[in-house]
Each structure stands twice: as C-alpha cells, then as structure tokens.
Structure 1
Amino acid sequence: MLPIVPILGVGAMGGALGSLLGNLNLGGLRSGSGKAVQARQGYRTDVQIVDGDAAFNTAGEVFALIGAVGTYWRIWEMTIPAQQFVHWGYGSPATPHNQGYMFFYAASAAAFDVGVLRLIQENARRTQTIPVAELADVGLHGLVAAIADASLIDKNQMIALPEKIEYPLVGEDSRIALDYRPDTLVVETQAAFKIPITVYQ
C-alpha cells in the first residue's frame, strides 16, 4: 500500500504562508498562532525628543550624536511599549487637513545644520531595518534659527506625513528611530522635532 501523503488545503497553506510572512513583520498585529488579528482603531499622536529612550531624550543628547558630514548617524530612537503597535505618520492624503505634519531642526543660535532626515523602523534585535522616508531638512523648519522662529506650526508650510500603512506595524520592543546625515554642520546649541505617529493598542 502506498503511503498517504498529507496535502495542505487552501486554509492550511494560507496559515503556513501567513506564519512565514509574519516573521518578516516588525512586530505586526499577529496572534501566537500566526493568524491575523483584527485591526484595532488607532489614535493619533506625535513624538518629540522627550519621548525617546534614555540615551536619546534630551536635545543635548540628540545634537551631540550628529557626527561628520556625509554619514548617517542615529540621533533618536524610541522602543515601542508593551501591547502597542505603531506606524509613522497619521491620517490620509485624502483628507489633507486631518493628516499629520512634521518639523525638525538642529541649529546654533543663528544657523541650521543642513542634511537629510531618515525615518526608520527596526525590530527588537536590530536585524531588520526599514527606511520609511528620507526628507531634506531645509523643508522641515523655519527660515530663522532663533528659537521662537525655528519650529513650524503653519500646516501650509509643513511637510505632510500621512500614516505609512504600506509598511509593517512596529510592535512591542521593536523601535522607531531617526537617522540624520549632515551635509553642512554648525555648532549646535538646540534641536527639536515633532513627528506624527499612529498608535494601536
């Protein structure tokens, strides 16, 4: 008698494939069985320097991490808390007044660093890193480096960052991060940013 070879049905194949692909998800919404969990309603918020992990949560720490020109430097990161999942950005371009907008700067009292800001998401073991956006910082701040004028608050002048749903959700113990490549440096005395995120829990 010929041995009976089990054949994966459509459901089983889907589960196996989902489990395999789920391993590529940076903390996405998955149950322990590998089956997708129904998405929850996210809420909108913003991250600032103070929200960073212990070595990245003051302006002095952030601009001290900016190194030589032409190289990307990790200047900020935040570990996702328990039972939360995060996307960079919030809202949709379909409703532009309700989507997220951002600003960023590192500056002296009179001039800005000039470079490129990269929004990153990575897994807890730092073995998978996904760049979500790269933005020239000349469009992310005001024209004058004086503290009162550097931060943008007018949406008509700010860069939009809608929810980046095309990327995996970033889950517990994974992190979102900012890498910065300076092209022109000043002696920094200040730094700030406000970048939208969507949180699911």
Structure 2
Amino acid sequence: MTGKRRIAWPGRPFSGVHFRVDAVYQRTIGELRARGSLLWLVFTPLARDATAAALQQVVAEIDAGAASAEERAELYTALLVMAAIDPWGHTLWKELVTMVEDKEEGLLRRTPIIGEMIIEAEQRGERRGEQRAIAELLGRLFARRIGRQPTAEEERTIVERARAMSPGEVEDALLDLEGEALARWLAEPIRSS
C-alpha cells in the first residue's frame, strides 16, 4: 500500500510525507534477505517460513555484517521484538534468545526492554511451574480421598482455592474431608482468608 499525507494548504506546493506500507509478515525470509540490508533481517521472525534453523542463519548474518557492537545490539533487539509479535504462532522467541545470548553473552539482559521481557517470561514460567506443582500435589491428595482423579473443573477449583486461601488450608481440607463432604466443599463459593 502506498499513500501520502499532505499537511500544506490546498493549492500550495506539496508538503508532507509519502509512505509505503510493506506487509513484511507476508514475505519469506529469502525475499527479506534479497533486499540487501541487515535492517530487513530483523523482520524474519514475522516471515511465514520462519524456523529456528533459518533464524540461526539470520543471527549469524547480523553478527558478521553489523558495523559495530552497538548496531549489532540494536538489530538483535529489534529481531527479538519482532519474534515476540509472532503472527504465525512459530513460538521462536525462546530459541532466538538463546541464539543471541550464545553470540553475545549478557547482551539481552543489558538491553532494557529485552531484559525486562526475559525476566517477565522467566517469572511467568516460575509461577506456572509453582501452580502446576501445587495442582499436582493437591490433585493427588484429592485422588486419594475420593478414589479418582479430579476432573478438569475440580482441579481448576482446587487451584483457585489454593490461590484465594492458601495451599496449606486446601491441603487441610483435602486431608480432613472425605467423599461427599469434600465434593460439597469444592462446590461451595470460595471464601478468601
């Protein structure tokens, strides 16, 4: 798509901007590479044919072609931001972080926006891991008390109760209540402590 935005009064010489919107997410890595500039390589995570192997080559090209360490850091940062967008569901961000860190250890954590993204992703992973461990432990207790594995809904309720109350209080209920009493307790509205 091309266009222009005029800011001068009608009848006056043109003053404004001409622009072209390029749908880089519709391009292949080969098409982006053929444009002949490292700048276009930062859009490769958006390419419809993006793979971990292809991005490894892109990282190597940026590493070899950047004029300075500063330019390389800026290109890597842009590359990672584009990987976070991920319109095709390639989920290559983690692999890309590893590739860039292999080339330039510590660079990403020193880059404010990417460092924050990495820390946030790690924290989300830790929280998911903790929640999964709590769900598994409490699910095993449920299975021993009821004699079957919890349904997905029961498991969700157990985890919600562990968040609202505390894992210990839920554990106590799972140990103290049996059969129907435990099922009724799970069906009750959650009261936070």
Q: TM-score range with shorter-chain normalisation?
A: under 0.3
> TM-score of the superposition, structure 1-length normalised?
0.20
Q: Flag the structure with higher strand content.
A: 1
Which structure has more relative contact order (CA 8 Å, sep 6+)? It is 1
Q: Flag the structure with higher helix content.
A: 2
> TM-score of the superposition, structure 2-length normalised?
0.21
Radius of gyration: which is bigger? Answer: 2
